[in-house]
Structures are given as structure tokens and as C-alpha cells.
Amino acid sequence: MFRDGEASPGSECPCVVISKSSAAAVLVFALHCHLVVTVPARASFPAGSVPTIRGSAAEPSLGGRYQVLKQLGAGASSIVFAAFDRKRRRAIALKLLCPGYVLEGLREARAMSSVVHPNVVKVYDAGRICDAAYLTMELVRGETLRDWARSPRSPAELFSVMLDAGRGLAAAHAAGILHRDFKPANVLVDRSGAVKVADFGLAGPAHRRTITGDRSGTEPYMSPEEALGNLVDGRSDQFSYCATLYEMIAGERLFPTGTVADAPAGTIERRLHQLRHTIGYLVWRVLARGLAIDPEDRFSTMNQLLADLEAAVQPQLSSVAC
Ligand SMILES: Nc1ncnc2c1ncn2[C@@H]1O[C@H](COP(=O)(O)OP(=O)(O)O)[C@@H](O)[C@H]1O
Ligand SMILES: [Mg+2]
């Protein structure tokens, strides 16, 4: 599954060329996929930029097998396309990792392939083209949780989607994998309402220390221990999950900028207090525990968190079922 070096490293690598013009940095996957992708010029290419396809060959494809159809999204280190796998004759999502993220791409594929669960995006294949990596996965026809939550949603819908996302996270933990970047942009909701946790690019083994220089999660969702570079375990994902749950309920981020470590002391307590009458004591208690600064004060497992959350929101869920 994990093929290394489809073109021999060290030799001239014709398939990935990065050039910068004054107006745009241009990433050309020229040989294999004949795609031209442009991103606005930034000092730190391509973080924070949203690439768009400027032009493509008549039938762009990767390695002749994956026919590239259209761009679905882009993250800090990748561009994701809808594609067609000619060999398996199925639609897929094709994630092209930017040059320099090969290890991250292969790590992501390994992590995702070890978690088989309906609430986790299925990975099919991964490989390498020169100094770029790609992975193919199930195509989720829908939107990210971030976009999904922009439409008005009932509490029952919100809790049901968040419980499913939590089940995906718990399945990763059961397989010994930490997600480390759980947030609304990394959860996908398909048109039928199925929820899939995506983007295992930072995933790691269940106990790990953040290494200086190691890319870490997204600041507003990052646990205090991760922000401080301390040892992280599944309880760190609980914090990110609860920061996301808070955002879904409150309609705004828990920490608008920076990490919890940058926020004034007492921010979490204050914000949860403001929500307490809306959400009720039991949901408040789940959030307060999952967002505890000391991991020892959180739930011991994601499954325990989910059991308490499910019990707390049962009245809302069953009023919809009736
Ligand atoms: N399997 C998929 N099906 C459909 N769209 C996807 C899929 N995976 C990712 N995307 C889209 O691509 C975007 C970036 O993917 P992601 O894996 O989060 O990349 P990054 O690691 O660069 O953040 C997502 O926010 C989503 O819009
Ligand atoms: Mg992402």
C-alpha cells in the first residue's frame, strides 16, 4: 500500500516543480497529473492560502490511474480533489500533500488505515511522487462541520453530529491513535448526515511528547498540555472535542485567537457559565470536565465522555425521534 519513490529520488524530478512569480506561487504537478494549481504568494508557502485550479490538461490524472475531477478543499499542507479511480472504478478523494509533507502524508495514511469505523474517513491507498505524497480515500459528498454549522441547526442535530464525531475519535483511541487536530474543519458531514472524522495528518501514538519544531494542532482547539509541549494522550483530544462542542453550541469559538494558554485566566469558566442556562447542568458538566486544564480532571476515556454526553442530551434526541 505504501509505495515509496515512484520516481527515483535524487534523479531529476520532473513531476513537481514549484516556482514563484511576483503575483503567485505556482505548484505544478506536471508530469503525472498535468495540473496547474495557483496559490497567492505568501512568505510561508502555502500555509493559510487557498489554492485554486487555474488550468488543467484535457484529462488530468495521477499516475494514469486517478482521474482528477475537481478541487474539494485545501488545508495548511494539502490540496484535496474529487477523482475517479479507473482501476477500481469508483469515485475517491485524492489528497496531494505539498512537497515537504511526505512523512506527514504517509503517517496520515497509516493512522487512518488502522482505524476502521463508520465515523472515520476510510483510506484506500497512499504513495509518493518525487518529493510529494498522495493518499486516496473515500469521497465524502458533503461539507465540513464548520460549514455545516453555518446553517441553522436544532440542538438535536448538533448533538447527534457531535456524538458521531466523538465515536470516530473514540475508535481512533481504541486503535491507539491520537488525532491531535480535532476541529470543525476536520470533520465531514455528508449529504445524508453521516459524520466522518478526517485529517489524521498530525496523528500519533496514544502517548507522545510534542517535540519542539514538530507541527502541532490548531491553536484555538489545542489542549493546554499540547500548547506547552508536554506529554499528550487521549485526554488532549477530549479538550479539542469539547472546544468544538462549545463552538457548535455557542456559535463562536471558545478562544477566538491563540491557545488556551494565551487566554486570560478563568476564560473557560466564564464562557461556560454564560451558557449554563441554555444547555442545562448535565451538558455543562460534560464541557466543564472535558475542558479541564489539568488532564487528570478530564474523563479517563473518550467513551466515558460520550456516555455522559449521550445521557445528558437524551431528552433532546428522543423528542426528535417521536
Ligand atoms: N475524504 C474527503 N472527501 C471530501 N472532501 C474532503 C475529504 N478529505 C478532505 N476533504 C476536503 O479537503 C479539505 C482539506 O482536507 P484535510 O485532510 O483537512 O487537509 P489538511 O491536512 O491540509 O488540513 C477539508 O476541509 C475538506 O473540505
Ligand atoms: Mg485539515
Determine the pLDDT at residue 34.
Answer: 41
25 and 59 within one domain: yes
Structural domain containing residue 100: 2-138
The atom of ligand 1 lying closest to the CA of 75 is: 22
For residue 121, what pLDDT band results from cuts at 50, 70 and 90? very high
- The predicted structure's pLDDT at residue 13: 34
Is 85 in the active site? no
The rounded Å distance from CA 134 to ligand 2 centre is 15
Question: What residue owns the CA closest to ligand 1's atom 12?
Answer: 73
Show which of 122, 138, 154 is a domain's final residue.
138
- What the block records as the C-alpha cell of 248 is 457548535
The CATH number assigned to the domain holding 11 equals: 3.30.200.20
Domain boundary among 83, 114, 138: 138
**106 has a pLDDT exceeding 90:** no
Query: What's the domain count of the chain?
Result: 2
For 14-62, how does the pLDDT look when each residue is reduced to its tens digit (9 = 90+)?
Answer: 333 333 332 333 344 433 334 444 443 333 334 333 333 333 444 556 6
**Residue pLDDT, tens place only, 287-321:** 999 999 999 999 999 999 999 999 999 988 887 55
- pLDDT class for 102, splitting at 50, 70, 90? confident
Rounded mean pLDDT of 190-213? 78
> Which residue out of 45, 95, 123 has the highest number of ligand 1 atoms within 8 Å of its CB and is therefore the one to mutate?
95
Identify the residue whose C-alpha is closest to ligand 1 atom 24: 73
DSSP conformation letters of 240-280:
HHHHHHHHHHHSS-SSSSS-GGGSPTTHHHHHHHHHHHHHH
Q: Which of 138, 171, 194 is the last residue of a domain?
A: 138
Nearest CA to ligand 1 atom 20: 75
Pocket test for ligand 1, best of 103, 199, 221 (most atoms within 8 A of CB): 199
Local structure of 44: helix, strand or coil: coil
Question: Do residues 189 and 100 share a domain?
Answer: no
Residue 127 sits in the same domain as residue 62: yes
Which H or E element spans position 40? strand 35-40
One domain for residues 106 and 216:
no
Cβ atoms 190, 272 nearer than 8 A = no
281 plus 205 within the same structural domain: yes
CA–centroid distance, 301 to ligand 2, in Å, is 24
3-state secondary structure of 32: helix
Segment 128-160, tens digit of pLDDT: 765 668 899 999 999 999 999 999 999 999 999
